[in-house]
Structures are given as C-alpha cells and as structure tokens.
Amino acid sequence: MAQTTPSLDDIIRRVREEAARQPEAASSPVVASVALPHLASEDNPLTVEEGETVALDLLLLEEGDTFLHNAYRVLLGREADPAGLDNYRAVLGHSGKLAVLSALRLSAEGRSRAVQVDGLALPMGLYGLARLLERRGIRVGMGRVLRALERWQGRRLAAVRSLMRRQAAASRQAEARLAGTEARLAVLFDLKAQYLETRQALAAARDEIARLRAEQRGQFQRLDTLLDRLAHNAAEPDVQQLAQRHAHDKIDLYYRAFEDANRGSLEEIRAKQSVYLPRFAALRAAGLQAPVLDIGCGRGEWLLLLQEQGWTVRGVDMNPVMVAACREQGLKAEVGDALACLRRLPDASLGAVTGFHIIEHVPFETLYGLFEEARRVLVPGGMILFETPNPENVLVGSHTFYHDFSHRNPVTPTSVSFLARYHGFERVEVERYNPYPESAKVPGDDPLTERVNGHLCGPQDYALIGYVPEHAA
C-alpha cells in the first residue's frame, strides 16, 4: 500500500498528542534559572544541581566530545559511556546537536531525570514526532528540520558569544580600573596616616615651643632684673661689660627663630648648597687639602655638608645661639667677629673661605677687609665663595631683601666681582641660583614678557667665586 505524506494539521495534532503523553516536561522536579551562559572546562565541568533549569544556549556553546560530555552530565546526570559516546557521535554528525539533546532527553534515563532545558521543547517535540512517524513507516527527513533550527540557534549563539566577549573585555577593564583605584586608595590612606602623624607631631611641637617660649620669657625677665641690678649697683668695668654682652641675647634668639622660619629647613638648605660641592671636589683633585673657614656659619648646614665630604672645617659667627647649634652637631665653631678671626690666621693657611648670606650684613669697610684678609690667608689655588641675595631680581632687591632687619644693603654682582679682582683673585665667576617657579611667571614667550620674567622671577641668589693664582707670591 502506498505511503501518504501527512499534512501540516496532522503533524501539529500528533505533536500535541505526543506532548500530552510526556507529563514530565510540565512537572519537572528540577526548577530554577541560569543567568548568562558560561563556558565549561575540565577544571569546571558543566553540571546541574538539584533545583536548576538549564538554558539551551548553555549546552550549545561547546563542540564535539565536550558538547556530548556536557549533555550526558546535564540530561542523564552521569558521565558518557564509550558505547553511548560512539552512538551519539554518529547522531551529532548526521543530525546535529539538537537531535542529540532531544534523543538524550527523551531516553528512559532522560525522562527519569526530567531536567528542564529552556528552549528545547520545540526541537524535542519535532524529534519525538519524527521517531513516532518513523515507527509507523513514515519518513519525514526531520534531521534537516533540526539542522535548520540549529543554524538559527547558532546565529543567536554568535550574538551571545559576541556579548560574552564584550562583557569579558569590559570586566577586564573594570578590574584594571578597580586595581588602579585600589592602589590609589592605598596611597591616599598611607598619606592620610602620614598626615595625621604629622599633625600630631606638629601639635606636640607647638606645645613644646609654647612651653619653651614661656620658660624663655621667664628667663628673660629674671635676666633683665639681674642686668639692671648689675648695671646700677656695680661700678666695676667687668660687671658692666657682662651686662652689655648679655643684653643682646634676645636679639640672638630672635635671629635664630627668624632663620628657622624664613630661610628654610636644614635639609632644604643642604640641598641648595650641594650645588657647590663639585667646586670642592675639583680643589681636592688638584691636591688642595687645607682647611676651610665658613664665616657667618649660622646653623652649620654648610659645615656639616663639607665635613661629610672629608674636609677639615670650622665656622665663626657672632650669634652665640647659632654657634651653640653648630656645636650640638659636633661641629667646630666659635663666637666672634669674622674679620678679627681672619686677621689672627697665618698667611696661606686655608684652602677656602666661604660665607652664605653674610656680605650683605656688613659695611663696606668690613667687606673690603674680608676680601683683603681672605686673599692673604688662602693658599695658592685657594677659593672664596660668597652667596648673597641677587638684586638683579627686582622683587628681591626691592622687597624680600628687607625681610631681614640685619641686612644693610644689597650687593650687586658687578661690584663684588670688581672687589674680588681688585684684591688679586682670578677666574672670578658669578653663578645664579634659585629662580621663582614657573607658576609665578607672566604667561607668554615674546621678548618683552621674557625680559619682565627675568627681572621679576629670575634667580633669587647668586654666588661670587674666585681663586688665588696658582703661583701667587
């Protein structure tokens, strides 16, 4: 008897009848949902726990034996046996993934496990219908239909894979940004801790300064009373000299406080003065080993820097507070007048005479004497180095120079260079340092703007350097 091809209405009616005879699809004990699909691996095999629903896309992501192993684990709850694996490799080859999934799900084990695969109902129904028709001798070529469905599903999977790649890239970028943010937060937390520690240290320092100032005021009051009594009640010259000598103590203490507040910390000054160390390295390379005298040695930054370089150094300063600060650091320093100190020294006994921010404090007669005596006491090849505020900078010459009440007048590079040459120094040079920061300059790169910036924001200090001739008499 000839076979007849079923109509579309017959196929739909039989699909409905087949679905009605499989109640497990509606009453599956495995319930829940899976979010975005993820790729399985040997270290992380795809499995289904009690209470999960599996998305069809998740199963279709893999290929070949990996796909088959995942299908077995999800739909049958076990690993694939060799015979079954061989069988379904053949099914996969000629009918595709949907046929394999439908066959496994409709097997006895699959119906018993009753895993719900979201998106498999239509392929599974068509597959079941095809098997029903084949048992009745009707061949409908359902493999081609399932392949077509699989191709449609593949286009969806391509979109899913693209989305997953974009999400993975976004995730990596987010992780990188998070790592960077965490690193910056760690730095900020560290800075905050340092800031809090610094605040505590500053608070403690302020308390200590307040205590010392109160103690100092009491000492000054007692000293004033004592000096008044000595000055009025004793006629001996030595007692009067004692009163006059200590009457200047307040000014000495003020000047030390002024230095600390305005000149910079010890570390900052040392860093600035380090630019002169190559000059002393050159003296040593030339075989010069004679001692160095620093006049107006202040807190001793330069003495300590040279001593660390192996030089024999000593300082002189009229301020006993400054000299005490030097001695506390183990430096050789004496209270006294710089010119008088030089006059006591023998000829050709020093390798260098230096002075930082000293020549602007003295009258010309004293400055003249300093250069004259320095020329006498230096060995051949010896050096003078005097640093002073630079009046070529208009702001320095007209304003900041006068912050220090003990300054007499600015000294120009031209005048002091001539003074050095007049006394027989050669290789006289002027080096300029410490300009204002770029942020202080007037914007622009035209000649007029550059000239204005040069006068207003140029170097704030300069150093005069000169040498005794190598073959001095």
Q: Reply yes or no on whether the pLDDT at 167 is more than 90.
A: no
How sure is the predictor about 42, in pLDDT bands with cuts at 50, 70 and 90? low
Residues 349-377: what's their mean pLDDT? 97
> Which helix (DSSP H) or strand (DSSP E) does residue 117 occupy?
strand 117-118
> Which of 102-106, 151-155, 179-183, 272-276 shows the lowest mean pLDDT across its residues?
151-155
Higher pLDDT among residues 252 and 274, named by residue: 274
| Higher-pLDDT residue of 30, 384 | 384
Judge whether residue 409 has pLDDT over 60.
yes
Token readout for 93 is 């080859």
Query: How far is residue 48's CA from residue 76's CA, in Å, rounded to a whole number?
Result: 10
pLDDT of residue 175: 84
Low-confidence winner among 3-12, 332-341, 420-429 (lowest mean pLDDT): 3-12
Contact 299, 266 (CB under 8 A): yes
Least confident among 22-26, 59-63, 229-233, 237-241: 22-26
What percent of the chain is predicted at pLDDT more than 70? 73
Give the pLDDT of residue 241: 60
Residue 115 host element (H or E): none
| 361: DSSP letter | G
Coil, helix or strand at residue 351: strand
Is residue 429 predicted with pLDDT exceeding 90? Answer: yes
290 vs 54, higher pLDDT: 290
pTM above 0.75, yes or no: no
Query: Which residue carries 């595709």 as its tokens?
Result: 96
Q: What is the reported pLDDT for 288? A: 94
What is the DSSP code (8-state) at residue 289?
A: -
The Cβ of residue 87 has, within 10 Å, a number of other Cβ atoms equal to 15
What CA–CA distance (Å, rounded) separates 351 from 423?
17
- Stretch 363-376: mean pLDDT: 97
Residue-level pLDDT at 269: 86
**Is the per-residue pLDDT at 262 higher than 80?**
no
At residue 432, what are phi and psi to the nearest 5 degrees? -105, 140
Rounded mean pLDDT, 255-272: 73
DSSP state of 248: T
Average the pLDDT over 271-288 and give the result.
Answer: 95
SS3 call for 203 = helix
What mean pLDDT comes out for the span 354-373?
96
CB 109 within 8 A of CB 84: no
Enter the tokens of residue 340: 């008088």
Q: Cα–Cα distance between 244 and 240 in angstroms, integer?
A: 6
Cβ pair 465, 385 in contact under 8 A: yes
Give the DSSP letter string of 67-93.
HHHHHIIIIISSPPPHHHHHHHHHHHH
CB 428 within 8 A of CB 420: yes
Q: Rounded mean pLDDT of 332-359?
A: 96
Distance CA 402, CA 409 (A): 9
Q: How many angstroms separate the CA atoms of 436 and 460, rounded?
A: 7
